Amino acid sequence: MRNLAKTIRGLSWIGIACGVHGWVFLILSLCAWRELVPEESGPFLPLASAITPRFPLDPIEPELRRRSGRPAESPPESEDLGSLYDWVTVEAEHRAEAAPPPRATIPDSESGSARGRSTVTRSPGLYDVMGTGGGAGRGGAFAGRFRRGGGATTATEKAVDAGLRWLARHQAPDGHWSPARFCDHCAGAKCDGPGDDRHETGLTGLALLAFLGAGFTPASRETYVDLHSGKRIATGDVVRRAILWLIGEQQPDGRVGGPVRETYNHSIAALALSEAYALGGGGALREAAQKAIDYVILLQNPYRGWRYTKKCGDNDTSNSGFALMALKSGDLSGLVVGSSTYDGARAWLDSVTDENYGGTGYNAKGQLCVTVPGFKDHPTMPAVGIMCRVFMDRAPSHPSIRPSVWMLAADLPVWKPTEIDYYYWYYGSLALYQAQGPEGPEWKKWNAALKTALLPHQHGMNDGCADGSWDPDVDKWAHRGTGRVYSTALNTLTFEVYYRYETAFGVEKRK
């Protein structure tokens, strides 16, 4: 008995010692975690908290109703959100090169700060409604961007974060992005690369799409201190102000923006409003998005495509591409889009697609791009054609698609003077990913070349306020009036291709 009592007393001291050491270990772990993710430059946009229920936290709806003089809307008793707002959990394990690292611990090699975001696990039923058009598809059709799969890497996600930070830093207080005067909001030495303010509606829509494509809504609660300006930026507020600005620019007939390059500007704005509604808007935002979609349809030439202005009798595949993206987004958001508008678009694409080699032309057969003196011609319109047909018909089976894929694979992205074309790279990335998916042989070649071309040429911390942006003066189109806002927003969207529309439009299972 005496030996037993001594043993018990010994065990009690062992237990106390283990408990003390456990508490010490826990405290040290917490200190280490705080050091890993410093408060002032910590994770940019952790997605787990960005996914929030639409009701009653929609900050857009009360403001829109106040502007219109209508009474506030009570949240419905139940609403099918397509499982978009199911509870999600942050992944604990690090998935290097398969998905962004958890807890946004991407190190910045130039500044030592952390950039990145959390990843989220797939919720049950989240993808069961992809591409169905309305109802449950309203949320689920865009849910791929919350998963962060499809080939996104640490490097590409760091590029997305840096691009979004640059855009947030240069947003005007009223919510828009000015192509010409964005440098009014620079911190320190001003960025160069101004554009033409006649494009501000379309470029504001493009910048907003970059945030929506990364999964951020007006209800997002993340804040961070910008390392260049020292200002605390609320990501949800960036998105909220951009949406309100676009709606403030909407005319009674539904058009957003002015008459200059009407189809480009309006279609991109309509695309952004449709996605914003799909990701969490209320009835007033639905009304604005539906009016915008209706005006896209009004712009269309009867039984054909789109050009720069309403029903002008002329058509081109580039304008038609953005118009079709807006319509398909509206369709998947539960907005009303008639089937006849797609019939006209198919008729236009068929009229400019060569039956022998499959390439889609700009406004005639064989014209695979718009020529700009001093720059190489790329098969840009075949890329737009692939995207249009896949988005409309939800299957990469049209006979023109395979030959067009080969054209893109034969003209990969490369950073050389006269060959840089952000627009071609954006549509080529969308087209090949949708046509083949992450395992496609041509997509893999394209993706490797894209990262080699674009990633090293994004500005970093040592470049001051330009950090996160891409230069416009080297690009085929950005130097012609769209400027640095365009180059940065478009390239950021290009690196969201892995999840922004990943099987979102009901593409058949890829081989």
The Cα–Cα gap between 42 and 269 comes to: 31
In a domain, 11, yes or no: no
Question: Do 460 and 110 contact (CB within 8 A), yes or no?
Answer: yes
Question: Do 492 and 455 contact (CB within 8 A), yes or no?
Answer: no
The Cα–Cα gap between 203 and 182 comes to: 11
Could you give the number of structural domains in the chain?
A: 1
The Cα–Cα gap between 442 and 433 comes to: 9
- DSSP state string for 438-452: TT-HHHHHHHHHHHH
Q: Would you tell me the crossing angle of helices 422-436 and 441-454 to the nearest 10 degrees?
A: 150
Q: Which residue has the tokens 């890829």?
A: 510
In a domain, 8, yes or no: no
Question: Do 297 and 330 contact (CB within 8 A), yes or no?
Answer: no
In a domain, 125, yes or no: yes
Asked whether the predicted pLDDT for residue 410 surpasses 80, the reply is: yes
The parent domain of residue 427 ranges over 36-500
Q: Would you tell me the crossing angle of helices 483-494 and 441-454 to the nearest 10 degrees?
A: 140
pLDDT digits (tens, 9 = 90+) for 136-175: 233 456 766 666 667 889 999 999 999 999 999 999 999 9
What tokens appear for 382 in the block?
A: 């075949």
- Residue predicted with more confidence, 218 or 81: 218
In a domain, 26, yes or no: no
Which element (helix H / strand E) includes 225?
strand 223-225
Q: Name, in order, each residue with C-beta under 8 angstroms of 453's C-beta and a sequence gap of 6 or more.
A: 413, 414, 415, 420, 425
Least Cα distance to 428 among 444, 408, 448 occurs for 408
The Cα–Cα gap between 204 and 248 comes to: 13
The Cα–Cα gap between 99 and 118 comes to: 10
What tokens appear for 298 in the block?
A: 């009004």
CA-based torsion, 90, 216, 38, 466: positive or negative: positive
Cis peptide before 417 (omega within 30 of 0): no
Paired with 224 in beta bridges are 233
CB neighbour burial string for 470-489, b if at least 16 within 10 angstroms, e if fewer: bbbebbbbbbebbbbbbbbb
Q: What is the mean pLDDT of the chain?
A: 77
The Cα–Cα gap between 60 and 111 comes to: 36
pLDDT digits (tens, 9 = 90+) for 331-366: 988 999 988 899 999 999 999 998 777 789 999 998
The Cα–Cα gap between 31 and 49 comes to: 23
In a domain, 14, yes or no: no
Looking at the chain, the number of H-run helices and the number of E-run strands are 17, 4
pLDDT band at 279 (very low <50, low <70, confident <90, very high): confident
Question: Do 468 and 459 contact (CB within 8 A), yes or no?
Answer: yes
Question: Do 127 and 157 contact (CB within 8 A), yes or no?
Answer: no
What tokens appear for 459 in the block?
A: 């500005």
- DSSP state string for 381-408: HHHHHHHHHHHHHSSTT-TTHHHHHHHH
Q: Indicate the DSSP class of residue 504.
A: T
Taking residues 240-253, report their average pLDDT: 97
Ramachandran category for residue 389: left, alpha or beta (phi over 0 → left; psi -120 to 50 → alpha): alpha
In a domain, 29, yes or no: no
pTM: 0.78
In a domain, 331, yes or no: yes
Q: Which residue has the tokens 């309100």?
A: 244
Taking residues 504-508, report their average pLDDT: 40
> SS3 string of 232-286?
EEEHHHHHHHHHHHHHHCECCCCCECCCCCHHHHHHHHHHHHHHHHHCCCCHHHH
Domain harbouring 93, CATH code:
1.50.10.20
Cis peptide before 56 (omega within 30 of 0): yes
In a domain, 510, yes or no: no
Asked whether the predicted pLDDT for residue 95 surpasses 60, the reply is: no
Least Cα distance to 438 among 57, 153, 65, 236 occurs for 153
Max mean pLDDT among 47-51, 77-81, 128-132, 209-213 falls in: 209-213
What tokens appear for 250 in the block?
A: 């909407």
> Which pLDDT value is given to residue 178?
97
pLDDT digits (tens, 9 = 90+) for 460-472: 999 999 999 999 9
Q: Name, in order, each residue with C-beta under 8 angstroms of 159's C-beta and a sequence gap of 6 or more.
A: 454, 455, 458, 491, 492, 495
- Residue predicted with more confidence, 350 or 107: 350
- Percent of the chain scoring above 70 in pLDDT: 69
Least Cα distance to 107 among 174, 154, 57, 40 occurs for 154
> Which pLDDT value is given to residue 61?
74
